[in-house]
Amino acid sequence: MSRSRPRPDSVAFSDLARAAYCPRQLYYARREDDRDPPPAARERVDLAYRYPDLRAMDDAALESAPVDRPPTEYRAALARVADRDDYDRLTDPAGTRVFLAGKDAHGLAYKLLEPDGDGTDGEPPVPTIVTPGAPPESGVWEPQAVRAVAAAKALAWERDREVPRALVEYPAHGVVRSVRVGVRKTAAYRRALRAARGIDGPPPRLRGGARSNCERCAYADECGVRTRSLRSLLGL
């Protein structure tokens, strides 16, 4: 595990994800010191460390597990994960819950994959982010992409080498997606970083299409927006 300490102006990965989702949500979370995920979220995250066992479970066991797909569909999804070239490293990573402290951000990489054994030569290491929520039809949600880029950049800072991608795992759905640290993803990361660092009071409420985020926000009632649903699992 890294012994690096965050710089004074470093921002937590989780704060960056919240800032990408809604800066006002981050303001409320900081004010209430509300950083810990609920137990149900932790149970879903822990599934990422149990893929071989989950693949071997019968229907009854899977139905009692915190997975969000029917047993047959879930096993099929895990079979696709098992076909990945990095499956062995996903199930036996070089490190788990590794603390990373980069130039601008700090937080946990849920897994650290070392393709060449030590991460110093050959292919670069790959950090993973694990989320309890559901994936989009393709790619990853922007808050999780921001968090993945933050992990890749922090690892690159620690190793003094390029880390061009990270993974986002959705273990309750049996899905693993790759995030490239390209121009667009880096721009979203930079926007979230500026937003997180710039909060000194309640930011403006979301407008337009972004207001759909309010329906899944635990602070919607306090924020004063009208929504159909006031609480949800945020996947942070």
At residue 219, the pLDDT reads 75
Domain-embedded: residue 142: yes
The amino acid occupying position 180 is R
- Among 198, 209, 100, 183, which Cα is nearest to 147's? 100
Domain-embedded: residue 24: no
Domain-embedded: residue 129: yes
Determine the structural domain holding residue 149 and report its residue range: 38-189
Residue that is written with structure tokens 């919607």 in the block: 220
Domain-embedded: residue 47: yes
Distance CA 144, CA 151 (A): 11
At residue 92, the pLDDT reads 96
Measured CA distances, 199 to 19, 79, 136, 195, 224 (Å)? 10, 44, 29, 6, 19
Distance CA 114, CA 117 (A): 5
| HEC-encoded secondary structure of the chain | CCCCCCCCCCEEHHHHHHHHHCHHHHHHHHHHCCCCCCHHHHHHHHHHHCHHHHHHCCHHHHHHCCCCCCHHHHHHHHHHHHCCCCHHHHHCCCEEEEEEECCCEEEEEEEEECCCCCCCCCCCCEEEEECCCCCCCCCCCHHHHHHHHHHHHHHHHHHCCCCCEEEEEECCCCEEEEEECCHHHHHHHHHHHHHHHHCCCCCCCCCHHHHHHHHHCCCHHHHCCCCCCCCCCCCC
Domain count, the chain: 1
Domain-embedded: residue 155: yes
Domain-embedded: residue 4: no
The size of the chain, in residues, is 236
Domain-embedded: residue 166: yes
Domain-embedded: residue 99: yes
At residue 22, the pLDDT reads 87
Averages of pLDDT over runs of 10 residues in the chain (236 residues) are 68 94 85 79 96 97 96 98 97 96 96 73 90 95 97 96 97 98 97 91 62 69 56 41
Radius of gyration, CA atoms only, the chain: 18
